Structure 1
Amino acid sequence: MLKGKNIVLGVTGGIAAYKSCYLVRELKKAGAAVKVVMTDAATKFVSPLTFSTLSENEVAVDLWNRDQSTSSEIGTRHIDLAQWANLLLIAPASAHTAAKLTYGLADNLLTVIALAARCPLVLAPTMDADMFLNDTTQRNLAVLRERGVFVIPPVEGEHASGLVGPGRLPEIEVIVRFVDDVLDRTYEDFRSVSVLVTAGPTFEPIDPVRYIGNRSSGKMGFSLARAAAQRGATVTLVTGPVHLETPRHVRRVNVETAQQMHNAVVKEAPSVDVVVMAAAVADYAPAEPAPAKIKKETGKLEAIRLINTIDILKSLGEKKKKSTTLVGFALETENELDNARGKLQAKNADMIVLNSLNDEGAGFESETNVVTILTRDGKTERLPRQPKLDVANAILDRVRAMR
């Protein structure tokens, strides 16, 4: 997958910066074109001339591009490099740079490119063991992973400081293989496709304090949004109340109730190519939410009159254009396949993804999922248990085949 690909290699300050010289050589040997971007700190360890010679391209350090001869080129280098790259690899990635990326700080050329690039972002965090194991560093890397950044695990060993532990840059061939795998998984077959994904639960208020909800974590929907964005789609994510980081290059719309989700989806759906309804929308809502907290002494919570919430998937199916692919989810505990087939027909969907609470490692809050995919042509396909991001890509593979 590296042959003919454009790789922007970011090099940050650290003793491991010299190893990036070998990384440039191996990436080029695999057929990639490489352009190097260095932080100012990185230039203290390796000369830009070294990287320029190895990459056969000018090395970029200055955000303002002062060396260019025309004023129209000043200040646009970050956009040019961001658009040129098929992948942005930062190796070594210092703790400082990882922290900047976590909080969206863009005070040098490399971090500005990272914010502007729509391509996959790969980090190889490299630092002393104590810095790597620090809670703040671990939290920053966890946030970046949740957003869809690929993080190459560092290896253990002796550091320049004499400390022994994790934080060393992996062997060059390991990094090259990791990059090749990422490019293999993030082919841009959805680049011209717009996708709307719903995720999470909805909360239907009983009063300002209490609500009717469910245990949906939103992880499946967020995985779908992340996978679609990684494959080049323009993605809008309408989500109920969850505590998850927004995937890179995904536009997020937060809602709380089923009615709010319906309003947001109906607004967005007419302009998209694919709609994936992965949210666990509440089926019922209190008919008359109390304006103030209901006191325990009143006994009013003994009976709450419920009404049906609006059926979002059905309303989308009734208005669906021929060019739109509509995917629904079904969570069942009995008569699973029959119920899913019935939903497929009743909602005028193109695909139903069946979840079962009877499957180990599936359903709410799990990091993995086991699903059965049913399509309008009568096909039924059960997928094995796997991480939700892999399930998301499998669903998108089948959506792509239908279009």
Structure 2
Amino acid sequence: MLLTDAAERFLGVQAVASVAHSNPFRSLFGDSPSPHTELAEWADLVVVVPATADFLAKMAHGVADDLGSTLLLAFDGPVVVAPAMHSAMWEAPATQRNVMTLVGDGVHFVGPAEGRLAGGDVGIGRLVDPLWVVEAVHYWLTPGAGPLDGLRITVSAGGTREPIDAVRYIGNRSSGRQGWALAQVAALAGASVRCVTTVDPPFRADLVEVLRVESAEQMLDAMRSAQEDSDVLIMSAAVADFRVAEPFAGKVKRAGKERLELSLVPNPDILVELVQHRKQPQVIVGFAAEVERLEESVANKLANKGVDLIVGNNVAEPGSEFGSVTNAVYLLDRLGRQRRIEMAPKTEIAASILAAIVALIEV
């Protein structure tokens, strides 16, 4: 860990040392004749957090007047920055020019987020939740990780809930974890991401636009609206095939009823609707949760739906069931390319799925 002069004054050396369990590097001048080059050769990745407007300006213009700035100038690996400043400073033309320069140099930004700022103001410039920084480090250290800068991606997540009455619904066991992993990883890679979801995110969704829905019809409306300005649509939600034809008003009482009969009607096929309204060269991705004959089911769905890529998984397989934190998937795209991705955390699965999407875009 390395502290700038400002960080030293703001946080204190001993406080940082106690958290890091080691003394932070602080100066160009000490026991080592070249601490900045030694650190640059040692590190696999450098994280700047929080990245102030001043430090971003130093990075963009190659200023090297302290240990942090000289280290970054000497380092040729991946760099992740998590900006934090007042919204007026973040939105200033000079800062935005510096950001564009750094993005062009290959620097990876995480945030900033919108929220409460120092002094009581509210706006963009807030430091993202630390989880985003940790996941960004993990992503950019993953072999094959690539940028998605400029892409607009909409992901659906969770299982739809079809009302029976005012308090009950028909649902499924989908947790939405894979959809949210896709949204998170896409945002870390630089895409502009929205998530149409029936479930709350498992983390603070600082970098994702969240659209909450309940039923399949609501999800269709939200996805069709999102389709207007999306480059990629990923339908990872588990959409109920049927809904109650006429949901009961109020709450159905059990008293006096030996049985309750429900009349079900088909829900709209969201994938088919999206394909019918595709805006070329929009990429549309579907999911197939199966319990047997996975490859056959995926091939049939790809042919019948007209999408660009199908992601299939066997939800009867231990570790790949609904609600798990891991997954194993089979990918098949419109060009006939197929790939099996073995059991891994859902964020790693998400990175592989996004890489397959990029391969389609680049065709």
Q: Distance in 2 between matches of 1:230 and 1:253?
A: 19
SS in 1 for 2:303: helix
Residue 31 (structure 2) aligns with: none
2:353 aligned with 1:391 = no
1:333 Cα deviation from its structure 2 partner: 1.3
Residue 40 (structure 2) aligns with: 30
1:218 Cα deviation from its structure 2 partner: 0.7
Q: Distance in 1 between matches of 2:298 and 2:116?
A: 46
Q: Which of 286, 289, 293 is matched with 2:247 structurally?
A: 289
2:133 aligned with 1:149 = yes
Residue 233 (structure 2) aligns with: 275
Quickly say closer, same or farther: Cα 1:339–1:36, change in 2 above 3 A: closer
Q: Which of 21, 26, 30 is matched with 2:25 structurally?
A: 21
Q: Distance in 1 between matches of 2:338 and 2:51?
A: 51
1:104 Cα deviation from its structure 2 partner: 4.6
Residue 205 (structure 1) aligns with: 163
Task: Please tell me the residue identity of whatever aligns with 2:301.
Answer: K
User: Within 5 A, what are the aligned runs for 1:102-141?
Assistant: 104-107=115-118, 115=126
Partners of 1:102 and 1:144 within 8 A in 2: no
Residue 93 (structure 1) aligns with: none
1:358 Cα deviation from its structure 2 partner: 2.7
Partners of 1:206 and 1:286 within 8 A in 2: yes
Q: Distance in 1 between matches of 2:317 and 2:281?
A: 34
Q: Distance in 2 between matches of 1:108 and 1:52?
A: 30
Partners of 2:90 and 2:125 within 8 A in 1: no
Q: Distance in 2 between matches of 1:294 and 1:385?
A: 43
1:379 Cα deviation from its structure 2 partner: 2.5
2:309 aligned with 1:351 = yes
1:114 Cα deviation from its structure 2 partner: 5.9
Residue 313 (structure 1) aligns with: 271
Partners of 2:153 and 2:230 within 8 A in 1: yes
Residue 219 (structure 2) aligns with: 261
Residue 261 (structure 2) aligns with: 303
Q: Which of 357, 370, 376 is matched with 2:328 structurally?
A: 370
2:67 aligned with 1:54 = yes
Q: Distance in 2 between matches of 1:87 and 1:377?
A: 31
Q: Distance in 2 between matches of 1:392 and 1:13?
A: 36
Q: Distance in 2 between matches of 1:348 and 1:324?
A: 12
Cα deviation code 1:46-84 (max 9, x no counterpart): xxxxx9633458xxxx968xxxxxxxxx95268628935
- Equivalent pairs, count: 306
Partners of 1:63 and 1:108 within 8 A in 2: no
1:188 Cα deviation from its structure 2 partner: 5.6
Residue 382 (structure 1) aligns with: 340
Instruction: Give the TM-score normalised by structure 2.
Output: 0.72
Task: Please tell me the residue identity of whatever aligns with 1:106.
Answer: L
Quickly say closer, same or farther: Cα 1:391–1:319, change in 2 above 3 A: same
Q: Distance in 2 between matches of 1:27 and 1:299?
A: 78
Q: Distance in 2 between matches of 1:278 and 1:27?
A: 45
SS in 2 for 1:359: coil
Cα deviation code 1:61-110 (max 9, x no counterpart): x968xxxxxxxxx9526862893583579xxxxxxxxxxx999542179x
Residue 152 (structure 2) aligns with: 194
Task: Please tell me the residue identity of whatever aligns with 1:53.
Answer: D
Q: Distance in 2 between matches of 1:214 and 1:266?
A: 23
Q: Distance in 2 between matches of 1:36 and 1:223?
A: 23
2:205 aligned with 1:247 = yes
Quickly say closer, same or farther: Cα 1:188–1:333, change in 2 above 3 A: closer
Q: Distance in 2 between matches of 1:352 and 1:34?
A: 35
Q: Which moved more, 1:334-343 or 1:283-292?
A: 334-343
SS in 2 for 1:393: helix
Instruction: Give the TM-score normalised by structure 1.
Output: 0.65
Task: Please tell me the residue identity of whatever aligns with 1:115.
Answer: R
Q: Distance in 2 between matches of 1:315 and 1:361?
A: 32
Quickly say closer, same or farther: Cα 1:287–1:248, change in 2 above 3 A: same
1:341 Cα deviation from its structure 2 partner: 0.9
Unaligned runs of 5+ in 2: 18-22, 29-34, 53-63, 71-83
SS in 1 for 2:118: coil
Task: Please tell me the residue identity of whatever aligns with 1:385.
Answer: M
SS in 2 for 1:386: strand
Partners of 2:85 and 2:126 within 8 A in 1: no
Q: Distance in 1 between matches of 2:188 and 2:234?
A: 16
1:338 Cα deviation from its structure 2 partner: 1.5
Quickly say closer, same or farther: Cα 1:246–1:254, change in 2 above 3 A: farther
Q: Distance in 1 between matches of 2:85 and 2:292?
A: 60
1:336 Cα deviation from its structure 2 partner: 2.2
1:360 Cα deviation from its structure 2 partner: 1.5
Partners of 1:190 and 1:228 within 8 A in 2: yes
SS in 2 for 1:198: strand
Quickly say closer, same or farther: Cα 1:238–1:27, change in 2 above 3 A: farther
Partners of 1:371 and 1:383 within 8 A in 2: yes
Unaligned runs of 5+ in 1: 1-6, 40-50, 65-73, 90-100, 122-142, 152-177
Partners of 1:200 and 1:216 within 8 A in 2: yes
After superposition, the CA RMSD in angstroms is: 3.9
